[in-house]
Amino acid sequence: MIMVSSCLAGMKVRYNGTDRLDERIRQLVEEKKAVMVCPELLGGFQTPRPPAEIVGGTGEDVLDGRAKVIDQFGNDVTDMYVAGARAALKTAQEIGAEAAVLKENSPSCGSRAIYNGSFSGEKIAGAGVTTALLRRHGIRVLSEEAFSDEIDDDVHPA
């Protein structure tokens, strides 16, 4: 069983009320091979909500108290992001997930890149809060792009 970002399965839960539907991920959910989570909703946010970015580091730094998650209005929403990450971890543990496919660039779910905290659209290498926590607990986290690459590699080996 894997865990997937709800937005990738077609749920309109992103900060702006949209989804990022990936048909392969939706199909996994329909086949009961994947369980959906949205760490931000689990942390108490609603949809829509102001966009937020990690300021001062990455998800690892947030977990270690060296960085914060700030919304576009300057509100510190770190505690809600950490609460959502903990709830997502609990779900992953309950379903026995060995892997998660989460939405790239998100301050919760990014696995390779996140926005740099300046709300300028610039990205930095790093993971979001949920990804960092899942990895600390031995759960493999992939972006939707890396997941697609893996499927392609399985179907069309080099």
Per-residue pLDDT in tens (0 to 9) along the chain, 158 residues:
999 999 999 999 999 999 999 999 999 999 999 999 999 999 999 999 999 999 999 999 999 999 999 999 999 999 999 999 999 999 999 999 999 999 999 999 999 999 999 999 999 999 999 999 999 999 999 999 999 777 545 433 44
Q: Which residues contact 154 (CB under 8 A, 6 or more apart)?
A: none
Distances (CA, A) of 75 to 4, 34, 68, 131, 138: 28, 33, 10, 22, 31
Token pair of 106 as six digits: 């998100």
What pTM did the predictor assign?
A: 0.94
